[in-house]
Amino acid sequence: MFYGLSALSAVLLFAGLTALLPARRGVLAALAYPVGWIAGELCYYALLLEVAVLAYYFLHDTPSGWHVGVAIALGTAVVVLEGVLVGALLGARGVVARALRAHEQPLDLESRERVGSWLKSAMLISLHPRDLQRSTNIAYGAHRRHRLDVWRRATTPADAPVIFYLHGGAWTFGDKREQGRPMLHEFVARGWVVVTANYRLAPRDPWPAQIQDVTRALAWVKTNVANYGGDPARVVVSGGSAGGHLAALLALTSEDPTWRPDDVDVADWALAGAIPFYGVLEMTGDERFWRGLGAGIRRLLEHRVVQVPLEGHEDLYESLSPLSRIHADAPPFLVVQGVVDTLVDVNVARGFVERFREVARSPIYYVELPLTQHAYDVTASARTSATTRAAIAFAGSVVARRGE
């Protein structure tokens, strides 16, 4: 038993160190995301487990010798490390609040706890409103992936604002039912209409199938969401990772007809705002932004998504890069990014925000989360609760401005 618990402590120490200081190169880099995500998001449980291990050492007879001291020191190191990770998780609300208040057009997080109880955050579960109404698998086009869902409450008022959410998955996998649920449940609870859409996936359907599909889905929203109580003039687009890329690109190209379907009649393609979470906002793999991760994104795009080499097709890659599409009339943005994200480097978000502030007239809010990995918001943690508050505050401000 003693040696098994010592091995458990060693595993927890390795996982915690991976969450704190993830490797970016070599064999350990392959473990950085999955191990770091688990350790960072489940740190409550790891801390409690290690405290239980230490309690066992002190309350039960253990073998004597130097290795007992080593095991206790190992367990103590795990407790300290997991305490740091728990502190980052619980401190996210303060980080988010300061980021929103620091803007020249400050936003405030509401002081009253509405997004989730401590118990719900500790259990990491997301509960939808009891009167949630779902209209599922509505066709917005002819392809089998051209399906979307609409969520609302029975009490959702007419002409409610709309959040249009796009799933991630490296443009090659994913589904509208899987991601962003804690945040989307809260938007529904607050009287918003939520639309989530699937789109064609690479490599079967290479780029630009993905942006063509989400543009077609937006056309559906603009022409049909009023039938579900939504206001087509007050739509905010959001998504995570590849979905964050598509959301940002959609918001930045509302005046560009390149990807619009020919068989729809939409007068107003504009979006009130965009909220990309850990989005792929630079698509050429420029190492000034990717800092050693650029080869990976280029390999993915060249071989599976775009399926043509970057060399000789630089203009194509620039056209699908949100950072290169920023313009003076871009809508407002809220960008959320984790500092230790090993799939999308934090400098990608920083570069996008810096460029946006130089070029665009609309406000951009930037939340940078310490010790946070990619796709952190799959769980209903205290960190997800904090960024959900930010999304609600931002989205409410931009739809109010759009409605004026």
Residues marked active site are found at 241, 341, 374
Decide the pairing of beta strands 160-166 and 147-153: unpaired
The whole-angstrom separation of Cα 88 and Cα 383 is 8
Place of tokens 């799939």: 343
CA atoms within 13 A on the CB side of 30: 2
* Cβ-based neighbour number of residue 118 at 10 Å: 11
Tell how far CA 102 is from the center of its chain: 22
CA distances from 389 to 90, 123, 277, 333, 335 (A): 14, 19, 14, 15, 13
- What is the C-alpha end-to-end distance of the chain, expressed in Å? 67
Tell how far CA 57 is from the center of its chain: 40
Counts for the chain of helices (H) and strands (E), in that order? 14, 8
Q: Which two tokens stand for residue 221?
A: 């929203």
CA distances from 221 to 7, 232, 247, 272 (A): 53, 7, 14, 13
Cβ atoms 288, 348 nearer than 8 A: no
The whole-angstrom separation of Cα 223 and Cα 229 is 12
Cβ atoms 342, 375 nearer than 8 A: no
CA atoms within 13 A on the CB side of 62: 22
The values of phi and psi at residue 197, to 5°, are: -130, 145
Cβ atoms 100, 107 nearer than 8 A: yes
Helix (H, G, I), strand (E, B) or coil at 117: coil
Segments of 144-281 assigned E as strands? 147-153, 160-166, 193-197, 230-240, 273-277
